[in-house]
Amino acid sequence: MDKVYQIILKRRTIRRFQQKRIPFALLKKIVNGGRLAPSGANLQPCAYIVVDNSTLLDKVFATLKWAGYIAPAGNPPEGKRPTAYIIILINKEINKYGEKDAAASIENMILTALEKGIGSCWIGSIERGRLRQILKIPEEHKIDSVLALGYPDEKSVAESFKGSVKYWKDSSGVFHVPKRDLNSILHHNVWRQK
Ligand SMILES: Cc1cc2nc3c(=O)[nH]c(=O)nc-3n(C[C@H](O)[C@H](O)[C@H](O)COP(=O)(O)O)c2cc1C
């Protein structure tokens, strides 16, 4: 039981992937999960480009930056790169402040994907001008984020916060992601100084 919560507990960013194709029908289902996310005033400013063509995968990859705290160790090496991307766009003519809508939609897509065994990395560090040219994205659509996808080929675990938010990789390649403890950020009824 608690299916969604279990998936949320299990979810970690993945940056190395098996080279197994994700069926397009499944990628469409993931976008559909995003489409149905909450949206301010129900304006629904987001649009999505699914990329799974091998030439374009290489070109999109070249516009992305990975795991800044440990760069370049977090870069997916050749043979471990994402097998699909979803580019999340915001139509500024519908809502120029659509970032929260995009974020809700992205999290929906991450969880929809994970339920099907697909790992992902939400990427905000993008050479946007270059990506716009590669994918012929029209000017009124702002590039919000890229969601990199694939069947996982690495392990990542959450650990309790010990003074630093910096994720790290151990000698066996396992990612460790410090998360602030619940009691340090949870207040009940009124703010209580910790
Ligand atoms: C808005 C946003 C932008 C992010 N941008 C990048 C990015 O450009 N490159 C990257 O490797 N990871 C990126 N991430 C992933 C974060 O590094 C990751 O979520 C964080 O380290 C926590 O790890 P977890 O997702 O496993 O909990 C981004 C995440 C968010 C929410």
CA of 124 to the centre of ligand 1 (A): 8
Residue bearing the CA closest to ligand 1, atom 3: 124
Length of the chain: 194
Shared domain for 125 and 175, answered yes or no, is: no
Instruction: List strands edge to edge, sheet with 175-179.
Output: 156-160, 175-179, 168-169
Average pLDDT over residues 165-176: 96
34 burial class (0-12, 13-18, 19+ CB within 10 angstroms)? buried
Bridge partners, 86 (sequence order)? 50, 147
88, 147: one domain: yes
pLDDT value at residue 1: 74
Question: Cβ neighbours of residue 79 under 8 Å, at least 6 residues apart?
Answer: 19
Give pLDDT, residue 160.
96
- Strands 168-169 and 175-179 come out as antiparallel
Residue listed under structure tokens 């630093």: 164
User: Residues 120-163: pLDDT tens digits?
Assistant: 999 999 999 999 999 999 999 999 999 999 999 999 999 999 99
What is the rounded average pLDDT for all residues in the chain?
A: 97
Same domain, yes or no, for 143 and 169?
no
One domain, residues 81 and 34: yes
* pLDDT over threshold 80, residue 42: yes
- Which residues line the pocket of ligand 1, CB cutoff 6 A? 12-13, 15, 65-67, 121-125, 156, 167, 177
68-120 pLDDT, tens digit per residue, is 999 999 999 999 999 999 999 999 999 999 999 999 999 999 999 999 999 99
Statement to judge: residues 107 and 62 lie in one domain: yes
Look at residue 33 in the predicted model and tell me its pLDDT: 98
pLDDT given for residue 100 in this prediction:
98
Q: Separation of 118 CA from ligand 1 center, angstroms?
A: 16
Q: Which residue from 77, 75, 76, 32 is spatially nearest to 50, judged by alpha carbons?
A: 32
Query: Do residues 61 and 16 both lie within one domain?
Result: yes
Domain holding 25, by residue range, is 3-154
Instruction: List the CATH number of the domain containing 88.
Output: 3.40.109.10
Q: Do 36 and 62 sit in the same domain of this protein?
A: yes
Q: Which residues contact 71 (CB under 8 A, 6 or more apart)?
A: 65
Task: Looking at the structure, tell me whether residues 106 and 168 fall in a common domain.
Answer: no
Residue 32: what pLDDT?
98
pLDDT of res. 129: 98
Residues 18 and 77 in one domain: yes
My answer on whether 167 and 82 are in the same domain is: no
Residues 92 and 107 in one domain: yes
pLDDT grade, residue 193 (50/70/90)?
A: confident
Cα 14 to ligand 1 centre (Å): 9
For residue 165, give the CATH number of its domain.
2.20.180.10
The pLDDT of residue 194 is: 75
In which band, very low, low, confident or very high, does the pLDDT at 37 lie, cut at 50, 70 and 90? very high
Number of domains in the chain: 2
